[in-house]
Amino acid sequence: MKKIAVHLAEGFEEIEAISIIDVLRRANFDVEVISITKSIEVKGAHNIIVKADLLFEDANYQSIDIIVLPGGMPGSENLKAHSGLRKQILNFNDSKKTLAAICAAPMVFGGLGLLQNKNATCYPGFEEELHGAIITGNDVEQADNIITGKGAGVAIEFALKIVEFLTNKETANELAQKMIVHAQ
Structure-derived torsion over alpha carbons of residues 95, 79, 62, 66, reported in degrees to the nearest 10: -60
| Cα distance between residue 126 and residue 131, in whole Å | 10
Q: Which residues have a catalytic role annotated?
A: 103
| Cα distance between residue 178 and residue 176, in whole Å | 5
| Paired sense of beta strands 30-35 and 3-8, if any | parallel
